[in-house]
């Protein structure tokens, strides 16, 4: 595949993926009885079970897209009614192209109005949006349902303004705001306490009892609530951690752990068992680590969870890694690559053979970069095989193999078998030992393009690490094409971003040239609801990149040390993590302290 093609596909041209995703959000309205039954029995998560047919006109799709890309959901005012009576009814259905609400347009909190029967809302398929200036605004599936509108008008003595909503979204909002499915964690925990207040801490229960506990409705709701909240906040992991006298639940968001309201200690066994059941793990086995997977549909998105348990002193500790396909940024450009590095890297990735390494500690975004690279190279004429531990995302058209040392399927042994499968491109999850390194180099020498990762702090460190493992220098120099080092930095929240005075000492610690630090404006997030008062929202990568040319090859042949390699890289003007980080500070993307935090080890 040509270089130009690759650049084009690397995300520089917009794909239509977004549009098609929007289309799939538009659901076919369903018969009311069916909706009713569904929502009643399966409050929240199980909504995924409903099939989702797609329907929609191009006009509609565009509207949706616009609404979605503007970012934060519209806030609805739930003020007190001012004019007590007015007979007028606003109906938007008379308009030619009615706007249909996106699920984001629904309020976050129940609207402050005297109780409306849950059954009535469900049966007539409407939900309150706001009460403001004497107008009661509702979302409704059937705008022609004058009976319901009249009934509301009569009951509340307010004008009734109607917006069209999708039945699924409305029923969802009813459950979420007024139904049993959406209660605060606090309420659920309280309610669960009434049902499961046997005071046991779950140390000696038998399997049958555990299964019963885990199937209690409040426990199911509690676990669902924890999972949905985590996904909606954009967490990457949910941690369930038992301690001597408490049971903690924490979310990892943008790489940082934060506490969630913790359920009482006596629910520990029930909650852990519930998640284990969902992941099809053996709930009676609590002394050995276990791994499993859960696949759920949450808010129209397919979300995979990787579940792992380990026995600790005070019970099983469980972690759910959230593998949200939609947040996996499969386009290199969106990963924060500077344009020049992106072009060089893509040119390298279009070579027919050789080895490309991505380095960085755990959680530095290496997997995203490699998956993005593979999706870029993924075409019918390329056979791609990966060897991973674990397989994080399934890539269509890619043969992915899970390493399993228990049956002696290691990176090294797997790689030897892979080569016999005649691949063009190979991804080896990680090079940890000499055997894997040798096999990797061997396959790169014999006409394969091989990608792998190493846990080194920077790009020059990768060469030293491989040489230290005992890899032959001349083999390494003749196969290595390039090394990419990377980190993830948090992005300043755009809702509360403000200019700040620079801290000279912090900037000095980056050891930049004086001309680089001139005329730079610094920003910081003040903290707001949108970023949960952290001042940051989302992450992006910073990169260091070395393309191996003759000079570097000579150095490797001479077994030069890391310092010499680094000096050569600087002399050649290669970007370093700090330099690229600094560019992102200059662009107002992140803060100086973020750069220092993630490059501390340098």
Applying CB under 5 A, the residues found at the interface with Zn ion are 493, 495-496, 525, 528, 530-531
Residue 32, C-beta contacts closer than 8 angstroms, at least 6 positions apart: 123, 125
Cβ proximity to Zn ion, 110 vs 527, nearer residue: 527
DSSP state, residue 105: G
**How far, in Å, CA of 260 to CA of 250, rounded?**
5
Cβ proximity to Zn ion, 526 vs 586, nearer residue: 526
Cβ proximity to Zn ion, 328 vs 530, nearer residue: 530
DSSP reduced 3-state for 146: helix
Cβ proximity to Zn ion, 539 vs 579, nearer residue: 539
| Closest to 165 (Cα-Cα) out of 247, 254, 98, 263 | 98
CB of 233 to Zn ion, least distance (A): 13
CB of 535 to Zn ion, least distance (A): 6
CB of 402 to Zn ion, least distance (A): 39
H helices within 279-410, ranges in order?
339-349, 366-377
In angstroms, what CA-CA distances link 353 with 215, 440, 443?
53, 12, 9
Cβ proximity to Zn ion, 216 vs 495, nearer residue: 495
Cβ proximity to Zn ion, 219 vs 492, nearer residue: 492
Cβ proximity to Zn ion, 150 vs 232, nearer residue: 232
CB of 538 to Zn ion, least distance (A): 11
Cβ-proximal residue to Zn ion, closest one: 493
> Which residue in the block uniquely carries the two structure tokens 């399997």?
207
Cβ-in-10-Å burial (0-12, 13-18, 19+) of 378 comes to middle
User: What is the bridge-based pairing of β-strands 399-402 and 384-388?
Assistant: parallel
In angstroms, what CA-CA distances link 595 with 453, 486, 503, 506, 546?
22, 12, 14, 10, 20
Helix (H) or strand (E) holding 524: strand 522-525
Residue 559 CB neighbours (<10 A): 13
| Closest to 356 (Cα-Cα) out of 464, 238, 476, 254 | 476
CB of 274 to Zn ion, least distance (A): 34
Cβ proximity to Zn ion, 371 vs 536, nearer residue: 536
CB of 490 to Zn ion, least distance (A): 11
| Closest to 298 (Cα-Cα) out of 7, 490, 109, 42 | 42
Cβ proximity to Zn ion, 1 vs 500, nearer residue: 500
């Amino acid at each position: 595949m040509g270089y130009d093609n690759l650049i084009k596909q690397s995300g520089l041209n917009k794909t239509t993926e977004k549009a098609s995703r929007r289309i799939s959000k538009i659901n076919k309205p369903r018969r009311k009885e069916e909706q009713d039954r569904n929502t009643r029995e399966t409050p929240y998560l199980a909504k995924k079970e409903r099939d989702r047919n797609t329907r929609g006109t191009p006009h509609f799709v565009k509207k949706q897209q616009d609404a979605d890309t503007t970012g934060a959901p519209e806030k609805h005012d739930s003020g007190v009614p001012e004019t007590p009576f007015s007979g007028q009814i606003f109906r938007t259905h008379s308009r030619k192209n009615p706007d249909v609400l996106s699920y984001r347009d629904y309020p976050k909190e129940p609207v402050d109005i005297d109780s409306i029967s849950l059954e009535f809302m469900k049966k007539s398929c409407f939900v309150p949006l706001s009460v403001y200036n004497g107008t009661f605004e509702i979302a409704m599936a059937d705008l022609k349902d004058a009976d319901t509108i009249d009934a509301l008008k009569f009951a509340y003595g307010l004008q009734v303004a109607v917006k069209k909503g999708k039945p699924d979204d409305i029923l969802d909002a009813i459950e979420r705001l007024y139904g049993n499915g959406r209660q605060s964690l606090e309420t659920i925990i309280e309610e669960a306490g009434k049902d499961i207040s046997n005071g046991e801490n779950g140390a000696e229960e038998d399997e049958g009892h555990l299964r019963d506990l885990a199937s209690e409705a409040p426990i199911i709701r509690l676990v669902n609530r924890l999972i949905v909240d985590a996904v909606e906040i954009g967490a990457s992991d949910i941690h369930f951690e038992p301690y001597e006298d408490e049971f903690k639940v924490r979310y990892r968001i943008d790489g940082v752990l934060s506490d969630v309201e913790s359920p009482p200690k006596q629910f520990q066994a029930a909650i852990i068992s519930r998640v284990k059941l969902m992941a099809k793990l053996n709930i009676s086995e609590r002394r050995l680590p276990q791994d499993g997977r859960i696949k759920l549909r949450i808010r129209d998105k397919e979300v995979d969870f990787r579940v792992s348990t380990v026995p600790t002193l005070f019970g099983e500790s469980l972690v759910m890694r959230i593998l949200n396909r939609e947040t996996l940024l499969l386009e290199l450009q969106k990963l924060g690559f500077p344009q020049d590095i992106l072009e060089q890297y893509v040119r390298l990735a279009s070579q027919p053979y050789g080895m490309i390494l991505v380095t960085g500690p755990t959680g530095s975004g290496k997997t995203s970069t490699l998956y993005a690279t593979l999706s870029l190279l993924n075409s019918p004429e390329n056979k791609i095989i990966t060897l991973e531990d674990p397989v994080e995302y399934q890539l269509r058209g890619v043969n992915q193999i899970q390493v399993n040392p228990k049956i002696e399927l290691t990176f090294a042994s797997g790689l030897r078998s892979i080569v016999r499968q005649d691949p063009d491109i190979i991804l080896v999850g990680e090079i940890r030992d000499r055997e894997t390194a040798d096999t990797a180099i061997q396959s790169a020498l014999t006409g394969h393009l091989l990608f792998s990762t190493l846990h080194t702090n920077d790009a020059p460190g990768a060469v030293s690490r491989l040489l230290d493992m005992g890899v032959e220098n001349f083999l390494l120099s003749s196969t290595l094409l390039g090394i990419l080092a990377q980190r993830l930095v948090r992005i300043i929240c755009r809702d509360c971003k403000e200019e700040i005075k620079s801290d000279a000492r912090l900037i000095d610690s980056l050891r930049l040239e004086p001309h680089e630090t001139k005329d730079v404006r610094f920003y910081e997030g003040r903290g707001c609801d949108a970023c949960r008062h952290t001042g940051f929202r989302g992450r992006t990568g910073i990169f260091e990149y070395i393309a191996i040319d003759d000079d570097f090859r000579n150095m490797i042949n001479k077994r030069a040390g890391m310092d010499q390699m680094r000096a050569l890289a600087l002399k050649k003007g290669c970007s370093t993590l700090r330099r690229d980080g600094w560019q992102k500070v200059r662009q107002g993307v992140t803060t100086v302290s973020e750069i220092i935090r993630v490059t501390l080890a340098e």
